Amino acid sequence: MKKKLLFLLFFLAFVSPIFAQYTPTAENLAARKQFADDRFGIFIHWGIYSMLANGEWVQNNRNINYKEYTHLADGFCPSRFDADAWVRLFKEAGARYITITSRHHDGFSMFHTAQDTFNIVDATPFHRDVLKELAQACERHGLSLHFYYSHLDWHRLDYPLGRTGRRVGRPTDQQNWQSYYDFMNAQLRELLTNYGAIRCLWFDGVWDHESDAQPFDWHLPEQYRMIHSLQPACLIGNNHHRKLIDGEDIQIFEQDLPGENTAGFSGQQTISQLPLETCMTMNNTWGYDITDKNYKNTDEIVKNLVRAAGKNGNLLLNVGPRPDGEIPAEAVERLREVGAWLKVNGETIYGTRGGIVAPHDWGVTTQRDKTLYVHILNLQDDGLFLPISGKKVKKAVMFNTRKPVSLHKSANGVTILLPEHPKAVDTIVEITLN
CATH 3.40.605.10 fits 363-433, yes or no: no
Query: Which tens digits make up the pLDDT trace of 101-152?
Result: 999 999 999 999 999 999 999 999 999 999 999 999 999 999 999 999 999 9
Q: How far apart are CA 338 and CA 93, in angstroms?
A: 6
What confidence tens digit (pLDDT) does each residue in 175-191 have?
999 999 999 999 999 99
Q: 363-433: same fold as 25-352?
A: no
For residues 392-420, give the mean pLDDT: 92
- Judged against a pLDDT cut of 50, whether residue 283 lies above it is answered with yes
End-to-end CA distance of the chain: 66
**Cα 232 off chain centre by:** 19
Provide the residue ranges of all domains of the chain, joining segments of one domain with +.
25-352, 363-433
pLDDT mean across residues, the chain: 94
Contacts of 246 (CB under 8 A, 6+ apart): 21, 22, 221, 224
17 pLDDT higher than 80: no
**What burial letters (b/e) apply to 216-239, b meaning 16+ CB within 10 Å?**
eebebbebbbebbeebebbbbbbb
- Does residue 331 have a pLDDT over 50? yes
Question: Residue 416, SS3?
Answer: strand
CATH superfamily assigned to domain 25-352: Glycosidases (3.20.20.80)
Residue 16 clears pLDDT 70, i.e. is over it: no
Residue 160 has pLDDT above 80, yes or no: yes
In this structure, the chain runs to a length of 434
One-character DSSP codes across 156-218:
-TTSPP-SSSTTS---SS---HHHHHHHHHHHHHHHHHSSS---EEEEE-GGGGTT-SS----
pLDDT of residue 340: 98
Its sign, for the CA torsion 237, 22, 226, 33, is: positive
Quick one: CA torsion of 303, 309, 311, 312, rounded to 10 degrees? Answer: 170
Tens-place pLDDT, residues 49-83: 999 999 999 999 999 999 999 999 999 999 999 99
